[in-house]
Amino acid sequence: MTIEMNIQRYSSVEALAQSVANLVVQSAKQAIVERGVFHWALAGGTSPKLCYEKLRDGPIDWKKVHVWFGDERCLPVGDVERNDWMADQALLNHVSIPTSNIHRIHAELGVKEAAKQYADALASIECLDLVLLGMGEDGHTASLFPNNAALLSDAFAVAIYDSPKPPSDRVSMGYKTLKAARQRIMMVTGEGKREVFERLCLGEDFPISIDNSEWHTTL
C-alpha cells in the first residue's frame, strides 16, 4: 500500500516541537470557532513532550478543550511510565482545563474493562478534531504494533495483549478512531527510526501507514 505523505522536515527537535505546537493552537481555534469544542488526542512517548511544554502558555481556550489519549499502558495510576503522567507533568497540570474534560484511559482496571470503557466514551463524540501520533522503531503508532490482532478490529478502542514492549497489556485507540479524525499529525524523531521511516516513504506498509496525515520529522 502506498500512502499519501505530506512531509515537513526540521533541523532540530526544538523547531519541530514549536511548529507542531503552533498547529495545535491553529486547530484548536478553528474547531472552537466552528463547533464550540476541540477534541484532541495526545501522543505518548518522548517525541511530543517538548511540544506540550510549549503549549502551556498557548492562546487556547482550555475550557473548551477535551483531551483524549492515543494509548495507555496497563499500570497503576500515577506510575511515571503512564502516558497520562507525562502529559500531566508537561502540560495538563499547567493549564486551566476542567478535570472533566480530560478523558483518561483507566488502564489500571485491566486491559479488557479499560478498552470497553474507552470505546464507549469515544463513541459518544462525532470524531476527534486532531490526533498527535508518534512512531516506534518498528513502525508502530499508539500501541498498534505490527502483526498484533488488534490491527484487525474496528472498535473505537482496542485491548492490546502481548505487546513486544513492556508492559505487555495496553489499551489503544483503534484504526476506526484514528482514521475518522479530522486531522492527524505524525511526529517522528530519533535516528533509530530512520530506516523504517525511509521504508515507509517508499510505500512499505506499517501500522502507522494512515493516509492523509501530516508528517513532521527531524530525519
Look at residue 32 in the predicted model and tell me its pLDDT: 98
pTM for this model (two decimals) = 0.96
Cell 505530506 belongs to 6
Angle at 80 between CA 179 and CA 162, to 5 degrees: 55
Average pLDDT over residues 129-133: 98
Look at residue 45 in the predicted model and tell me its pLDDT: 79
- Domain 5-210 in CATH 2.60.40.2580? The answer is no
pLDDT surpasses 80 at 95: yes
Look at residue 1 in the predicted model and tell me its pLDDT: 53
pLDDT in tens, 103-119: 999 999 999 999 999 99
| Conformation bin of residue 44: beta by default, left when phi > 0, alpha when psi is -120 to 50 | beta
Look at residue 98 in the predicted model and tell me its pLDDT: 98
Instruction: Please give the helix or strand (H or E) that residue 130 lies within, else none.
Output: strand 130-134
